[in-house]
Amino acid sequence: MKIFELTRADDPRQAIAAAAKANTAQQGADIRFIAGGTNLVDYMKLNVETPRQLVDVNHLPFDKIEALPDGGLSIGAVVRNSDLAYHPIVRKNYAVLSEALLSGASPQLRNMATTAGNLLQRTRCMYFRDTAMPCNKREPGSGCAAITGVNRGLAILGTSEHCIASNPSDMNVALAALEATIHISGPKGERSVTIGDFHLLPGNTPNRETVLEPGDLITHVTLPPPSPGNRSLYLKLRDRASFEFALASAAVVITADGGKITRARVALGGVGTKPWRSMEAEGELTGQSATQAVFQKAAEAALRDAKPQSQNGFKVELAKRCLVHALKLVTQTA
Amino acid sequence: MPTITETATTSPIGRQTPRIDGPFKVSGTAMYASDFNFTGLLFAVPVEATIANGKLQKLDASEAEKMPGVRAIFHRANIGKIFRSVLQPPNSGIADERRPPLADDVIRYYGQYVAIAVADTFEAAKAAADAVRATYTKDKPNVNLDLQPESEPEAVETTHGRLKRLQSERGDPDKAFASAQVKVDQTYVTPAETHNPIELQGTIAMWDGQMLTIYEESQAVFNLRSVLAQMFGLPKENVRVITKFVGSGFGSKLWPWTHCALACAAARQLGKPVKLVLSRRMMFQSVGHRPRTQQRVRLGATNEGKLVSLMQDYLNDLDILGGYHENCGESTSYFYSVPNLRVHWGRTRRNIASPTPMRGPGAVPGLFATESAMNELADQLKIDPVRLRELNEPKIDEGKGIPFSSRHYLECLQRGGERFGWANRNAEVGSMKRDGSILGWGMSGAAWIAGRFPAQASVELRDDGSARVACGTQDIGTGTYTILAQLVSDKTGVPLNKIEVVLGDTSLPPGPISGGSLVTGSIVPAVFDAADNAITSLLTVATTEPGSPFGNRTPDDLAFEAGRVFAKADGLAKGVSVSDLLRRTNMRLVTGSGKSEGTLDEKKPKVSMHSYCCHFVEVTWQPATARLHVNRVVTVIDGGRIINPLAGRNQIEGAVVMGVGMALLEHTIYDPQNGAPINSNLADYLMAVNADAPLMEVHFLDYPDTDVNPLGARGIGEIGLAGVAAAITAATYHATGVRVRELPIRIEDLLTSSILA
């Protein structure tokens, strides 16, 4: 770990002003916000991130979960994952989010980790974590050791020839299915970005993971009102029963009427370079009966563009089974 | 005057006894090696090679040396003399990596130390280590997973002396196999595994002139002393090794590793105490691992299920320089009755660090192969796998031609089958269902060595009614502190809470290594001997010292029982307690020393001593989500007399959970490109967690094996892991129809199952 300066921001303007001086808000940022630190501190210990300044945002007034007048929900940037997971409105209206959060990490980590931190969670690609290895995400142009190496856990959707790192967050997958909006305050004012636009595909610049620019501070996340009569669910498949990242996961939000699916939102985790919303699957489901055959068609559609690597071909089948089973469970209980 | 019933205690042997060291551990007052702190303590962090094969071309420490708080960067040119240690198996000088650290510029495995940074704080040392610039000439590392035997002579040098690769042979196994009515011929693979004790390894080294003191979490303090004495050219009495508590070892702390010599050398160069604690990543690189094994097993049998031929040809990979042999054939020659048998092994060198024993070395991968083959044979024969084992139960150890000391394997099978409900098994694949899941049932047996290492101990009886027992063995979290107290309490009548146990220090009488599940069996006779000698001394005091009420007696007139000395003629009721006697004679204490010989080096053993066990396993298989879960495990252990059933059951349950991890999760992955153990952290190297643990039922048969020691106690630290994986793969086959012969079982394997719910 490199020596760094820790400053505490007491109001958002101060935080934004401090971070606006950063060289980037992406990989290699010399100034970073810190909240729970469950991810950033890890990477600092590994010298993957070497900021010279950390701006502590834990004391900013973004720790509230509030019902919105339109029936939606506002979630503060530094709300802890456990508080969010157990919040009564979340459990009642957004079960998929609660389940996703509780399927991730461990209670100790969830007590520290925050909404904004989880949005910005970095990949678990083993080559990204090791500074002795080539990695285009960590060191642009150095190459990708994962494509030719150990890639069993990595992405099959949204990859490029430069990077196949998977987004590890469970929360993000649920937010994608819930069509969340990310609210950002920055040097040029305030703006909102949908969850679908917030994360970037790796393309030629895998070091750029989000739309954030220097000084951009996530203030809160909003969820639209729950669609009437919907049921939602998060299903996560992995090698061991707990405390592991997803090999494949599915977040589904389904409204059905008399056995017919009237509205479907589907996102996959563990398989994409970003939280993977599948409008293809949603298209196959909407207006159809809730049957195994329809679920299977949706799963085929969701994985149609999958590009497996040498070790992760099984994820195509696993992700399909995951989505099919999630849809079966969520419509059974509907 | 207290009455007899108040002072007499029933023997704690065989009683469920909470660990006497437990309160220290849960209150955080137990001092592990790296918890110690000393005035002027400096901190060291090694620099790891980032290639696995090649040469260190240049080492630039100029930037690191200038950093604040940095005392020195040591490398080959300035570390000073470190001698090569002399291998003196079985009891001294043992190390799996014997090349002294920094001895040359050749890099033979990823993470090999090329320098060491020493600074005033850990943080400064880490920053300095990161700032050392090493440049290498790189060759492609060989970490190939496909093992091919290398041409080695039939007798080869190993860490444990010269061994024949033809391990056991009888009859004509080739001919018998060729003409056998039913055959199995399969190859089984187990991956490299890393021990991952929760406590990181490390050393505190301090010099006082020519005296060297080491705090290190060692499973073998006396061996470590002998190695360090040789490496630093000291008489061994000049070296003291202290290990009060060990946060598990699983074998990785059995033999010395290079970080320890580096810390000693750095402390010598600087004239200050130095602390060096490894990172979790280093724990995957340079403190050993269970090697990959590849084992061809051939079984020939009659249509009725009688074995006629058994051949096991196995390979393990190892480092470039070392001599490690994974003894996968240990149990093969005696476990089953078979007239024709051959066990043969070979090794393959790779650009990996040295393997080392990991819990149940040899037997655990070996029995995975042989027991899996037995299960496959049972399926081919369409006979119950339990019945197949019963049909091939030997009357004697056919490998050595000697009787068993105490073998109750058939009773293990019977008890286990009853407790599990094995009679309800439907052998057809995928036929058993419950709550929408498919059930798979499987079983396996296992055996493990028993015997003794040489051991010494001393026992003191004191005037305040307390006792002290000292033995230079270690408690690696298994309950040795408590066992020592139980043994002394049994002999002297001193209650457990008045017994001070001292271990883990080379200034104490030499004790056994904490390896091979042999500590308990080894220390019983030595501690009993020491207690007897303390009592003899007490009787002499009683008859000779002024103030004693027995001044007119001879020692032969006296007896000792339940903590009291009494004249045989007058009976126990008129006796005097130890504390009374010592006070009256104005003595603080009496002591006794005890000693027992080892059994493992006997040239011609008269009996074959082993522990046995079996596991019955149920898995549930959910095809819709490719989810396999180990549901319940029934284990029956024939492990001699169990001294502490509480700690014993804990050992077996821990081993079974580790077996679940072995079957489904654990493997160290070497990057094919640069040879690094790439999943070198606890998130990427998966071990079973609580949610993976099955319901467990553990039974001990509790037959004393008095050939091992007077109590009949054997060790049980390792046997519980052996066989678990073979039972799980059998259960998995029963549920899914997928036969997995290479561990761990992966979701990829299971996705090929055609069994539907």
Asked if B624's CB is within 8 angstroms of A321's CB, the reply is yes
Rounded CA separation B670/B664 (Å): 18
In the predicted model, what is the mean pLDDT of residues B292-305? 98
Give the minimum alpha-carbon distance from A314 to chain B in angstroms, rounded to a whole number.
Answer: 6
Best mutation target, A2, A4, A123, A133, to test chain B (most B CBs within 10 A): A133
Asked if B688's CB is within 8 angstroms of A240's CB, the reply is yes
What is the helix (H) or strand (E) element at residue B181, kind and residue range? none
pLDDT in tens, B594-614: 999 999 888 899 999 999 999
- Label residue A2 by pLDDT band (50, 70, 90): confident
In the predicted model, what is the mean pLDDT of residues A224-252? 97
Best mutation target, A48, A131, A244, to test chain B (most B CBs within 10 A): A244
Asked if A243's CB is within 8 angstroms of B672's CB, the reply is no
The three-state secondary structure class of B57 is strand
A126, A129, A239: residue with CB nearest B747: A239
pLDDT of residue A303 exceeding 80, the answer is: yes
Residue B110's identity, in one-letter code, is: Y
Q: Which residues in chain B are contacts of A318 at CB distance < 8 A?
A: 626, 747, 751
Say which CATH topology domain B33-140+201-283 has: Aldehyde Oxidoreductase; domain 4 (3.30.365)
Report the phi/psi class of residue A265: left, alpha or beta, with left for phi > 0 and alpha for psi in -120 to 50: beta
Structure tokens at A157: 């959707």
Give the minimum alpha-carbon distance from B698 to chain A in angstroms, rounded to a whole number.
Answer: 23
Q: Which chain A residue is nearest to residue B627, measuring alpha carbons? A: A237
pLDDT in tens, B622-632: 999 999 999 99
pLDDT in tens, B305-328: 999 999 999 999 999 999 999 999
Residue A285's identity, in one-letter code, is: L
Best mutation target, B122, B625, B657, B665, to test chain A (most A CBs within 10 A): B625
Q: Which residues in chain B are contacts of A130 at CB distance < 8 A?
A: 676, 678
Return the pLDDT at A334. Answer: 45
Q: Which residues in chain B are contacts of A149 at CB distance < 8 A?
A: 671-673, 678
Q: Is the peptide bond before B90 cis (omega within 30 degrees of 0)?
A: yes
Q: Which residues in chain B are contacts of A242 at CB distance < 8 A?
A: 689-692
A133, A235, A240: residue with CB nearest B665: A240
Return the pLDDT at B149. Answer: 87
Q: In terms of DSSP H, where are the helices of B253-408? A: 258-270, 280-285, 332-335, 363-381, 385-391
* A124 vs B: CB within 8 A: yes
B123, B672, B689: residue with CB nearest A242: B689
State in words which class domain B382-451+604-750 has: alpha beta
What is the helix (H) or strand (E) element at residue B71, kind and residue range? strand B70-74
* A234 vs B: CB within 8 A: no
Q: Which residues in chain A are contacts of B686 at CB distance < 8 A?
A: 239-240, 244
With 0-12 / 13-18 / 19 or more C-beta atoms within 10 angstroms meaning exposed / middle / buried, residue B23 is: exposed
Give the minimum alpha-carbon distance from A126 to chain B in angstroms, rounded to a whole number.
Answer: 7
In the predicted model, what is the mean pLDDT of residues A35-42? 97
Q: Which residues in chain B are contacts of A107 at CB distance < 8 A?
A: none
State in words which class domain A230-332 has: alpha beta
In the predicted model, what is the mean pLDDT of residues A70-83? 98
* A109 vs B: CB within 8 A: no
Asked if B625's CB is within 8 angstroms of A325's CB, the reply is yes
- Label residue A210 by pLDDT band (50, 70, 90): very high
Return the pLDDT at B6. Answer: 37
Asked if B692's CB is within 8 angstroms of A242's CB, the reply is yes
Asked if B672's CB is within 8 angstroms of A150's CB, the reply is yes
Asked if B211 contacts B237 with a C-beta cutoff of 8 angstroms, the reply is no
C-alpha distances out from residue B578 to B529, B566, B589, Å: 18, 10, 9
Asked if A126's CB is within 8 angstroms of B127's CB, the reply is no
Residue B510's identity, in one-letter code, is: P
Asked if A126's CB is within 8 angstroms of B679's CB, the reply is yes
Question: What is B4-29+453-596's CATH number?
Answer: 3.30.365.10
Give the minimum alpha-carbon distance from B672 to chain A in angstroms, rounded to a whole number.
Answer: 6
Q: Where in chain B are the domains?
A: 4-29+453-596, 33-140+201-283, 382-451+604-750
Q: Which residues in chain B are contacts of A133 at CB distance < 8 A?
A: 671, 674, 676
Asked if B643 contacts B520 with a C-beta cutoff of 8 angstroms, the reply is yes
Asked if A322's CB is within 8 angstroms of B688's CB, the reply is no
* A237 vs B: CB within 8 A: yes
Per-position b or e across B442-480, b if 16+ CB within 10 A of its CB = bbbbbbbbbbbbbbbbbbbbbbebbbbbbbbbbbbbbbb
Rounded CA separation A201/A273 (Å): 6
In the predicted model, what is the mean pLDDT of residues B237-252? 97
pLDDT in tens, A182-196: 999 999 999 999 999
Asked if A110 contacts A82 with a C-beta cutoff of 8 angstroms, the reply is yes
Return the pLDDT at B603. Answer: 86
- For chain B, give the longest Cα–Cα distance: 87
Rounded CA separation B112/B134 (Å): 12
pLDDT in tens, B7-54: 345 789 999 999 999 999 999 999 999 999 999 999 999 999 999 999
* Beta carbon pairs, A and B, within 8 Å: 82
In the predicted model, what is the mean pLDDT of residues A44-52? 96
- Cα dihedral across residues B365, B367, B373, B378: positive or negative: negative
Q: Which residues in chain B are contacts of A1 at CB distance < 8 A?
A: 123, 126-127
Phi and psi torsions of B303, nearest 5°: -60, -25
**DSSP string for residues in A205-262:** -TT--BS--TT-EEEEEEEPPPPTTEEEEEEEE-SSSSSS--SEEEEEEEEEETTEEE
Rounded CA separation B266/B117 (Å): 9
pLDDT of residue B4 exceeding 90, the answer is: no
Per-position b or e across B394-418, b if 16+ CB within 10 A of its CB = beebbbeebebbbbbbeebbbbbbe
pLDDT of residue B152 exceeding 50, the answer is: yes
Asked if B679's CB is within 8 angstroms of A150's CB, the reply is yes
- Name B633's bridge partners: B617, B696
pLDDT of residue A29 exceeding 60, the answer is: yes
Phi and psi torsions of B115, nearest 5°: -165, 175
Return the pLDDT at A333. Answer: 57
Half-sphere exposure in the Cβ direction for A121 (13 Å, CA): 27
pLDDT of residue B187 exceeding 60, the answer is: yes
pLDDT of residue A127 exceeding 70, the answer is: yes
- Label residue B1 by pLDDT band (50, 70, 90): very low
B625, B673, B681: residue with CB nearest A148: B673
Rounded (10°) angle between helices B480-492 and B519-544? 30
Q: Which chain B residue is nearest to residue A147, measuring alpha carbons? A: B673
C-alpha distances out from residue A166 to A175, A179, A274, B49, Å: 16, 20, 7, 28
Half-sphere exposure in the Cβ direction for A142 (13 Å, CA): 17
Name the nearest CA neighbour of B404 among B415, B412, B394.
Answer: B394
B126, B625, B669: residue with CB nearest A322: B625
Rounded CA separation B493/B506 (Å): 28
Interfacial residues of B (vs A; Cβ cutoff 8 Å): 50, 123, 126-127, 130, 624-627, 629, 664-665, 669, 671-674, 676, 678-679, 681, 683-684, 686, 688-692, 746-748, 751
Rounded CA separation B504/B476 (Å): 10
Give the minimum alpha-carbon distance from A57 to chain B in angstroms, rounded to a whole number.
Answer: 25
B624, B688, B748: residue with CB nearest A314: B748
Asked if A133's CB is within 8 angstroms of B686's CB, the reply is no
Return the pLDDT at A320. Answer: 98
- Label residue B5 by pLDDT band (50, 70, 90): very low
Asked if A132's CB is within 8 angstroms of B50's CB, the reply is yes
Rounded CA separation A303/A14 (Å): 45
Q: Which residues in chain B are contacts of A47 at CB distance < 8 A?
A: 130
Structure tokens at B385: 């796998």
B130, B684, B751: residue with CB nearest A318: B751
Name the nearest CA neighbour of B740 among B388, B361, B372, B427.
Answer: B372
Best mutation target, A39, A43, A126, to test chain B (most B CBs within 10 A): A126
With 0-12 / 13-18 / 19 or more C-beta atoms within 10 angstroms meaning exposed / middle / buried, residue A302 is: buried
Rounded CA separation A252/A227 (Å): 13
